[in-house]
Amino acid sequence: MLGILGGMGPLAGATFLARLTLLTPAVRDQDHVPCVLWSDPRVPDRTAARLAGGPDPLPFLLRGVRGLETAGCEAVAIPCNTAHGWYDDLAAATRLPILHIVDATAAELRRLGLESGRIGLLGTAGTLAMRLYQERLEPLGYDCLVPEAAEMQTLVSPAIAEVKANRVAAARVPLMDAAARLVARGADAVVLGCTEIPLAISAETDAAELGVPIADSIDALARAALDQVAAMAQPA
C-alpha cells in the first residue's frame, strides 16, 4: 500500500493520485495500487517557513507520516517539492521508504532522453533557495537555470498562488512566459519543480510550444511510486 503525504496543496495531491491511476498499466480495478491519501492543507507554508521564519511544517508532516504508518502503508510519496526541504527529518523518523521527488525527476529527464545539459527550473522561492534540485541534479551532470528574482516576483510566485486559489487557468500564461525565458537563456529542458505548476502547464501538450522537453515532477513521482510498488511486490 502506498501512502501519499498530500494537501500541499490539496489539488496537487489529488492530481498526483489521478496521475498515478492513469499511469498504471491496469485493465481492472484490482490491478491498481492500493493507496492512502493523507491530505492535510493545514501544513504551514513551506516557503514561508524557510524564508520568512514562518511556522514549522515538520510537526504536521510527521503526523501525516505516522498516520500513513498506522494505516498500513509500506512506502510514502510526497507530491510537494518544497516539503522535501524536510526530507531528511522525515526519513529519519520512519521505517518506511520515502521517495524523493528530485530523484524521480532526474529519472524522468533520463526517460526524456536528457542524460545531462542545461535545465530550466520552475519552482517555489523556497525550493530554489534551498537548492533542492541543484544539489541533487548538478552532480549528475545537469546545470540548473532558475528564473531571475523579478521573474519570480511577477510571474512564477503569483502563478503558483493562482493555482492554490483554484484559479488554474490564470496561471498558464505567466508560467509559460517564465519557462520561455529559461529556454531563451539556453535551457535544454524545463522542469516543473512545483506540483502546482503541472496543473497549469502540460508536459505533453506545451513542450511543442516551448521547443524543449518538459519534465513534470508529479508524473515523475508517480512513475517512481509505481516502480517502488513493483519492486516491493517481487519475492525476496
**Measured distance CA(24)–CA(101) in Å, rounded:** 18
pLDDT score of 236: 64
- Structural domains for the chain: 2-100+220-233 (3.40.50.1860), 101-217 (3.40.50.1860)
pTM for the model stands at 0.97
Set 35, 73, 144, 194: catalytic member:
194
Q: Alpha-carbon distance 208 to 205, whole Å?
A: 7
**What would the grid cell of residue 38 be?**
493523507
Q: pLDDT at position 234, please? A: 81
**20 DSSP β-pair partners:** none
| Confidence (pLDDT) at 46 | 98
* Strand 75-77 relative to strand 2-6, pairing: parallel
Q: What are the Cα distances from residue 141, in Å, to 117, 133, 138, 200?
A: 7, 12, 5, 28
* List of the chain residues with pLDDT < 70: 236
**The three grid cell numbers given for residue 71, joined into one nine-digit string:** 494505516
pLDDT of residue 235: 76
Q: Which residues are CB-neighbours of 190 under 8 A, at least 6 positions away?
A: 119, 120, 121, 122, 179, 182, 183, 210, 212, 213, 214, 215
Residue in 35, 73, 80, 144 annotated catalytic:
80
Q: Copy the grid coordinates of residue 1.
A: 500500500
Q: Would you call 35 a catalytic residue per the annotation?
A: no
pLDDT tens per residue across span 114-156: 999 999 999 999 999 999 999 999 999 999 999 999 999 999 9
The reply to whether 80 belongs to the active site is yes
Task: Name the percent of the chain in helix, strand, coil, to the closest 5.
Answer: 55, 15, 30
